[in-house]
Amino acid sequence: MHSVVLTKGVPDFREGQVSFDEDGHLERGDTPTVMNPNDKFALRAALQTKVRHGGRVSLASMGPPGYKEILQEGMRDVYADDLYLLSDREMGAADTWATAMTLATGIDQFEEEPDLLFAGFKTADGETGHTGPQTAWCLDWPTITHVVAFEVDETERTIRAKRLVEGDVSEIETVEAPLPAFVVTDPEFEASYRTARERLRYKDFRAETQERAAAYEDHLTVWDHEDLNLDPDYIGLDGSPTIVAGVDPIPKAPSEREATMVDPDEMDPVFEELQPFAGAD
């Protein structure tokens, strides 16, 4: 099984990492870029496929040269056999459509056709959730979104997935699709290893990938638009039918709440007052 996982670098929005200016605009220079957290679920899904069925996990992204470290992060924190970065100036400032076109061309370029393409549920910055499905559309592969668990039948060449359908009452829907297929993991996705052999393989892979991540560039392939035989008019800013017209600052959080310590002794009269109402009687 060859799994390809798509990822993107995003600002680290965690408390203590992210930085905003006075107007509430993100200060990119002061905020570290990290692997989109949702994409780690996708990478874990790909690792589960490798643990159960063997094969290879490729982690791919389109972005500036600094994204090499995003790929390294995925290799170190979860797993990857090899890394692919689609990167040159012509690809810059792409919208989701141009990005999808580029990624799909990259996936077409793999010597071994992928069986599964994984992506996380939307990026932490753009939050469009478009790039993955558009890539699958370009490839003409079936798409399964909000996947929380799945199984692959190698003989039948099918994937059977449980997807979370949120509504007034959340439901789990089971769907089946032929391979190759595109899978969007839900943040509720949890890899499941119920046999010792799977867990031992998982442990081996985790140890190997951490070692590999220390020299990740040995496992990295960088493709520019010429490698992919892409016309610059159809990628990057020139190939983007949409532009970002403006950015509104994030509204400030409501006024801070204060907690006051209460002397436990002062609470005694309150407890006494409430005593008659307590209990099942």
Contact footprint for other proteins (CB under 8 A): 194-197, 199-200, 203-204
**CB-nearer residue toward other proteins: 160 or 201:** 201
Beta bridge partners of 177: 159
The amino acid that residue 96 corresponds to is T
Residue 148 has phi, psi (to 5 degrees) of -105, -20
Write down the least CB distance from residue 66 to other proteins, Å: 34
Cβ of residue 195: shortest distance to other proteins, in angstroms? Answer: 5
CA gap 153, 49 in Å, rounded = 11
> Among residues 165 and 200, whose Cβ is nearest to other proteins?
200
> In the complex, what is the shortest distance from the CB of residue 114 to other proteins, in angstroms, rounded to a whole number?
30
Q: Which residues pair with 2 in a beta bridge?
A: 56
* Residue with smaller CB distance to other proteins, 196 or 247: 196
* Of residues 247 and 280, the one with the C-beta less far from other proteins: 280
Question: What is the closest distance, in whole angstroms, from the C-beta atom of residue 192 to other proteins in the complex?
Answer: 10
Query: Which of these, 125, 136, 149, 177, lies nearest to 48 by C-alpha position?
Result: 149
Q: Nearer to other proteins by C-beta: 194 or 257?
A: 194
Closest CA relative to residue 118, chosen from 86, 77, 72, 150: 150
* Closer residue to other proteins (CB): 137 or 206: 206
Pairwise CA distance, residues 264 & 4, whole Å: 57
**Which residues pair with residue 61 across a beta bridge?**
7, 85
CA distance 67 to 15: 22
Minimum CB–partner distance for residue 77 and other proteins (Å): 18
Q: How far is the CB of 118 from other proteins (least distance, A)?
A: 25
Task: Name which of 87, 78, 85 is nearest 39 in CA terms.
Answer: 78
∠ Cα 74 77 79 (to 5°): 65
Nearer to other proteins, 14 or 197 (CB): 197
Smallest gap from Cβ 264 to other proteins, in A, equals 10
Q: Give the contacts of 163 (CB within 8 A, at least 6 positions apart).
A: 144, 145, 146, 147, 148, 172, 173, 174, 175, 186
